[in-house]
Amino acid sequence: MVYSGFFIRLLAAGLDGVILLLAFSFLNMVVFSGVDPTGMSQEETAAVVLQIRLFGYASLLLALVYHVVMESSKKQGTLGKMAMGIKVVDADGNRITLGSSLLRNLVKILSGLIFFIGFLLVLFMPNRQSLHDKVAGTFVVSRLKGK
């Protein structure tokens, strides 16, 4: 296996971020297009704020689902990973399971909460694994020899 490095993975994550930002911005415009805060009562304003928060939580959940489903699909990666020519595989170079992908992405969230230290492991590990890859038993590869 040819393991993918930190910067190609960072570019893929950036592309995914832009894709999700555009998708959620469009949804935000559709959902909140009729909202005009001028002249709202305090109760109406509180209801809109609650809707905005719920939309934010739903967006986070949808982003998680996007990553989990795409990485465990036949494509073996998100749109950003596909654009960069990389994919997520197990130790044998096969497609990962939905459970492995969920575990991988939940640990990815934890890595973000601890100052992204788990992501920086890619720079030092011989197989270029991050913390979430180590925990889930996955690898990010550029290509597979013989496949």
pLDDT single digits (tens) 87-112:
999 999 999 999 999 999 999 999 99
Q: What is the C-alpha to C-alpha distance for residues 130 and 117, in angstroms, rounded to an integer?
A: 9
9: alpha, beta or left? (left if phi > 0; alpha if psi -120 to 50): alpha
User: Percent of the chain beyond pLDDT 70?
Assistant: 97
CA dihedral sign, ordered 118, 124, 90, 70: positive
pTM for this entry: 0.90
Please name the helix (run of DSSP H) or strand (run of DSSP E) that holds residue 139, with its range, or none.
Answer: strand 138-143
Q: Band the pLDDT of 51: cuts 50, 70, 90.
A: very high
Of residues 44 and 146, which shows the higher confidence score? 44
79 phi/psi in degrees, rounded to 5? -60, -40
Q: What are the tokens at 69?
A: 């489903």
**Mean pLDDT on 107-126:** 96
What is the average pLDDT value for the chain, to the nearest integer? Answer: 94
Q: Band the pLDDT of 122: cuts 50, 70, 90.
A: very high
DSSP H helices in the chain:
6-31, 42-72, 79-84, 98-113, 117-120, 131-136
**Mean pLDDT on 47-63:** 95
pLDDT for the residue 38? 84
pLDDT for the residue 145? 55
